[in-house]
């Protein structure tokens, strides 16, 4: 069963997916309606985003919740 990542884990999958689409943190932030600092904090594992924000990020990056936010 998949588990939600603890907030202390860096989200390298999100960073990788963002980079693969050639989006800066600022560009992704604008597309999902948050600050660049929020995207940075999620990638660093310092912030645990709401499910609503997770879904918005997934839609922009063309990924599923499992692909970006759940542990294997």
Structurally, the chain folds into a number of domains equal to: 1
Note the pLDDT tens digit of each residue in 8-45: 468 999 999 999 999 999 999 999 999 999 999 999 99
pLDDT of residue 72: 60
Evaluate if residue 3 carries a pLDDT over 90: no
Domain of 53, in residue numbers = 12-69
Alpha-carbon dihedral 57, 61, 65, 70, rounded to 10 degrees? -100
Q: Check which CATH number belongs to the domain holding 42 and give it.
A: 1.10.260.40
Q: Are 34 and 5 in contact (CB under 8 A)?
A: no
Q: What is the DSSP string of 5-70?
A: PPTTS--HHHHHHHHHTT--HHHHHHHHTS-HHHHHHHHHTS----HHHHHHHHHHHT--HHHHHB
The answer to whether residue 5 sits within a structural domain is: no
pLDDT tens digits along 53-68:
999 999 999 999 999 9
């Amino acid at each position: 069963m998949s588990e939600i990542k603890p907030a202390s884990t860096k989200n390298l999958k999100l960073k990788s997916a963002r980079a693969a689409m050639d989006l800066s943190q600022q560009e992704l932030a604008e597309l999902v309606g948050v600050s660049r600092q929020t995207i940075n904090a999620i990638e660093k594992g310092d912030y645990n985003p709401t499910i609503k924000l997770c879904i918005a990020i997934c839609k922009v990056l063309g990924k599923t919740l499992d692909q970006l936010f759940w542990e294997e």
